Structures are given as structure tokens and as C-alpha cells.
A = this chain, B = another copy of it.
């Protein structure tokens, strides 16, 4: 696993983003309102295997997930400089926690994003995020305004780096034209959701040195539960490659398959089970060769490449 770097008190805004090779996502923890002792355990298990980066969003757990995580992190007594914190803003849920919202919408305007970041910092009990992401592309985002807003977050020291999530290539290209230092685009990506390999998303990330973070990197679990013959074929391929790599598990292989991409994909683990986190971390030690990679691609698509 990645060696945890020393704190960088005077990091310049343009310094390249560094996350652990896998990241723990707290979406599900928020959704199931994971009790604090289990959150503390999950944080400890993650750090124990070198996963020091935690991915949140203002809306997780119906706007309560950041607070729960921040409380657990404080209870864990882990120093701030031992972890890296990612959070997001820009989505507005219809929720009893936001009575003013009448329709689900996005808001990438300056006022909303600034308030969102400030609230995240407070709930996470920190003065900065390592990475702040625009959660979803607001159809109405003004590129100049959004670029300024993100740049000011970095200048104010509230976010070491900024990026986006679920942005299409043309949206990313637009924003990057005003803010070249976009550090990440967090997208849905897995062996079951391969479109970004072909629709230009990963190409643009590689072109712009923007790190793709993969949410649902195991397909939300369908990979291991669905019964369809093509899913069985894919599981067989993952198992075969795992065997060849020395008893690696299928989920390790599915993660390593993503991480093999030259754009530097970082999977965002969705589990709340410390045991699965420990297993998943092993993916960072695997490196598929091209034949193994294409064997899985072929099993996933059902046909050989052209």
C-alpha cells in the first residue's frame, strides 16, 4: 500500500493531489446510519491497511453523514494529518432536513457551494478538506463563477484541491478551460459500468492529469450476487485471474482491474464492513498484465476486442 506522506503545512495550491490508492466512501455508512462504534472501527480498519482517505458529501445520510463521521473521527483520536478528507457539495435533496427544497436539483452557484464547504468543515471538525468536489454538474453552472468559487476555496486554505464528480467530458473540458487544476472527477466506474473507458471520460482525465475516482467500483454488489450467465462468466474470469495472481479474491481483482488504467483510477469503496475493507486493500498490491486485463474485458463484454 501507499506510504502515508508527512503533513505538508505549507502545501502550495498547485501541488498534485495525493490520495491513498483506495479510498473509503461513506455513502452507505450514512444511508444505514452506521452507529459510531462501528464507524470508529471502520476508520481504524481503513487506516490499518493504508486507506487514509475518506470520501463524504454534504448530502450523505440525509445531510447527517458528515456529522456522524466527524464525531467518529474525533472519537478515534486520529490526528488530522493522518487522514485525508474528501467531501462534496452542489446537490440539493428534497429532505426534511432542507424544508426549502421543493424539487431535487443541483446548485453549483458560489453561495451554495461556499456554504456547503463551510458546513462540511464544521461537521468534520477541521479547517480544510484535502479535496472538495462539485457533486453533480448543475445545468446552470457558470464556468467563470464556478472556477472562481473553487479557486477561492483553495486560496482560502479551505480545500487543498478541488475537482468534480459525474461531469461529462464536455463539462469537464469547459470548467478546466477556466480552472486547469481540476484534480479529480469522481465517476461511476466498474467492470459492470465500462462506458467511461470508451466515451472519452477516462481519455480526458488522462489528458488533463485529472484523477478518476471510481464510485460503485464493484457495481454496487451486483457483480457478486446476480445470477445471469454473463455475470457468472465474468465471475469465473475474475476468479481465474485471481488464482493466477496468487489467490487474490474476485473483488480484489475487480478493483485492481480498475487501478490498472494509466489514468490512475482510485476506487471509492462502498462497504461498511471492516473485513471487506481489509480484503479490498489487497488490490493495491496486484498488477494485472494486459492479457489478464483483456480476459476480464472479454468476459464482461461477451466478445473479443476487434
**A-side interface residues toward B, CB under 8 Å?**
92, 101-107, 109, 136, 138-143, 145, 166, 168-171, 173-174, 177, 197-200, 203-204, 206-207, 260-262, 290-291, 293-295, 297-298, 304-306
Instruction: Other than A105-B290, A174-B204, give 17 A-B pairs with Cβ distance below 8 A.
Output: A103-B294, A103-B304, A105-B293, A136-B306, A139-B293, A139-B297, A140-B260, A140-B293, A142-B206, A168-B198, A168-B200, A170-B199, A170-B200, A170-B203, A171-B203, A174-B207, A177-B207
In the complex, A247→B141 CA distance in Å?
A: 27
Residue of B138, B145, B204, B306 near A290 (CB, 8 A) is B138
**Do B305 and A104 touch (CB < 8 A)?**
yes
**Interfacial chain B residues near A295, Cβ < 8 Å:** 102-103
**Interfacial chain B residues near A174, Cβ < 8 Å:** 203-204, 206-207
**Interfacial chain B residues near A92, Cβ < 8 Å:** 290-291
**Do A136 and B305 touch (CB < 8 A)?**
yes
**Interfacial chain B residues near A297, Cβ < 8 Å:** 139
**Interfacial chain B residues near A171, Cβ < 8 Å:** 203
Task: Given A140-B262, A305-B106, decide whether A291 and B101 contact each other with a Cβ distance below 8 A.
Answer: yes
In the complex, A142→B202 CA distance in Å?
A: 11
> Oligomeric state, in number of copies?
3
**Do B290 and A143 touch (CB < 8 A)?**
no
Task: Given A142-B262, A298-B103, A304-B103, decide whether A203 and B173 contact each other with a Cβ distance below 8 A.
Answer: yes
**Do A294 and B143 touch (CB < 8 A)?**
no
A167 CB → nearest B CB, Å: 10
In the complex, A291→B143 CA distance in Å?
A: 20
Task: Given A103-B304, A168-B198, A294-B105, decide whether A143 and B173 contact each other with a Cβ distance below 8 A.
Answer: no
A175 CB → nearest B CB, Å: 9
Q: Which residue of B lies closest to A176 (CB)?
A: B207
Q: Which residue of B lies closest to A264 (CB)?
A: B142
Provide a sorted-by-A list of 14 A–B residue pairs whose CB atoms are within 8 angstroms: A101-B291, A103-B294, A104-B294, A105-B291, A136-B305, A139-B261, A140-B261, A140-B293, A170-B200, A170-B203, A171-B203, A173-B203, A174-B203, A174-B207
